[in-house]
């Protein structure tokens, strides 16, 4: 293509988390570490499109913290997990809670650069971007813009785009005035070495569609799915460990009205997020931790959030856009 394409992710702006969860596993230290593995997203989520706030840089690879060969009493509670006061997996992206505004001097709202050509590096969203090759080309077979495989920090990344106008007609490139719907599919795999001797095998994919991007649109609608995992092994404080993490989300019918001059939050739709982790430290019995978050938008200024963490379910609320998550 004549001009490079760039993917801009609308999942920036991590929500602060409070480490206040408890765990009832028979191995308190290992259990705490399994819960702590849910704080950040698997490394693949720094590349794919999802509601998770991920980072694929090697320095963000997961390793257990605060233990040594002689620590067996489980009293180290420094890293117990995301707790009930925040979202797992790096947080919930700003575009999904109304943290990005529309209007002069503010921008064109959440997902404004989703799939756009020649994206501005001074984007108003917190974004993670990868430059596309000039060799990206429209395929008449798939009706998609297909890009060559690229590598980044040890990861192999594939991606393709679909552009539609307001009538659903296929377009060969993004047009700032007429493109209404963009779909981006991505996959990622590879092995990352981090913390000197720790390695993580990474896999992930995403399929995200944003409609309502054309000039004059009154709302944006977001639907998509993602999944990712990392398998990690290495040593920490001379103790060998392994960690396995898997996560995914499903975004269904998320409707974001377009309203000038200030941020606007979703008024309909759901986001279902899940994550699990298994951590084995030395010769200890493997322990696991899992979490599921169901976020529902009903038109009010408060999102309803149902969290199930290691079998315990709590009904929570989150004032939009930046109110604190509180659970009953």
Within-domain flag for 200: yes
Give the pLDDT score at 12: 32
What is the SS3 assignment for the chain? CCCCEEEECCCCCCCCCCCCCCCCCCCHHHHHHHHHCCCCCCHHHHCCCCCECCCCCHHHCCCCCCCCCCCCCCCCCCCCCCCCCCCCCCCECHHHCCCCEEECCCEECCCCCCCCECCCCCCCCCCCEEECCCCCEEECCCCEEECCCEEECCEEEEEEEEEEECCCCEECCCCCCCEEEEEEEEEEEEEEEECCCEEEEEEEEEEEEEECCCCCCCEEEEEEEEEEEEEEEEEECCEEEEEEEEEEEEEEEEEEECCECCECCCCEEEEEEEEEEEEEECCCCCEEEEEEEEEEECCCCEEEEEEEECCEEEEEEEECCCCCCEEC
Give the pLDDT score at 66: 66
Closest of 143, 209, 207 to residue 171, by C-alpha: 143
Closest of 243, 286, 281 to residue 68, by C-alpha: 281
Within-domain flag for 241: yes
Tens of pLDDT, residue by residue over 266-297, are 999 999 999 999 999 998 889 899 999 999 99
Within-domain flag for 121: yes
Within-domain flag for 169: yes
Confidence band, pLDDT 50/70/90 cuts, at residue 248: very high
Within-domain flag for 1: no
Contact in structure between 94 and 13 (CB atoms under 8 Å): yes
Within-domain flag for 37: yes
Q: Residue 45's domain spans which residues? A: 6-327
Confidence band, pLDDT 50/70/90 cuts, at residue 220: very high
pTM: 0.83
Within-domain flag for 125: yes
Q: How far apart are CA 316 and CA 243, in angstroms?
A: 29
Looking at every residue in the chain, the average pLDDT score rounds to: 81
State yes or no: pLDDT of 71 exceeds 60.
Answer: no
Range of lowest pLDDT (4-18, 39-53, 268-282): 4-18
Q: How many domains does the chain have?
A: 1
Within-domain flag for 301: yes
């Amino acid at each position: 293509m004549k001009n490079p394409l760039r993917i801009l992710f609308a999942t920036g702006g991590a929500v602060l988390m409070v480490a206040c969860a408890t765990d009832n596993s028979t191995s308190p230290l290992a259990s705490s570490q399994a819960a702590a593995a849910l704080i950040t997203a698997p490394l693949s989520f720094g590349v794919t499109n999802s509601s998770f706030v991920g980072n694929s840089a090697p320095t963000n690879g997961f390793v257990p913290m605060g233990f040594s060969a002689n620590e067996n009493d489980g009293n180290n509670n420094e890293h117990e997990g995301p707790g009930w006061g925040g979202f797992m997996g790096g947080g919930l992206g700003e575009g999904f809670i109304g943290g990005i505004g529309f209007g002069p001097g503010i921008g064109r709202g959440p997902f404004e650069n989703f799939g756009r050509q020649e994206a501005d590096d001074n984007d108003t969203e917190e974004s993670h971007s990868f430059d596309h090759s000039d060799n990206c080309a429209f395929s008449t077979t798939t009706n998609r813009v297909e890009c060559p495989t690229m590598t980044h920090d040890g990861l192999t990344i594939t991606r393709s785009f679909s552009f539609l106008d307001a009538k659903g007609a296929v377009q060969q490139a993004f047009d700032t005035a007429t493109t209404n719907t963009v779909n981006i599919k991505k996959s990622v795999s590879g092995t990352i070495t981090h913390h000197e001797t720790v390695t993580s095998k990474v896999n992930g994919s995403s399929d995200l569609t944003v409609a309502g991007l054309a000039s004059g649109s009154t709302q944006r609608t977001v639907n998509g799915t993602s999944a990712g995992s990392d398998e990690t092994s290495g040593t920490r404080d001379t103790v060998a460990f392994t960690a396995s993490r898997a996560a995914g989300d499903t975004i269904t019918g998320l409707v974001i009205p377009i309203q000038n001059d200030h941020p606007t939050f979703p008024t309909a739709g759901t986001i279902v997020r899940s994550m699990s982790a298994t951590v084995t430290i030395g010769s200890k019995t493997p322990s696991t931790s899992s979490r599921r978050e169901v976020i529902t938008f009903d038109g009010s200024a408060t999102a309803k959030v149902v969290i199930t963490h290691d079998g315990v379910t709590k009904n929570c609320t989150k004032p939009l856009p930046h109110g604190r998550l509180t659970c009953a």
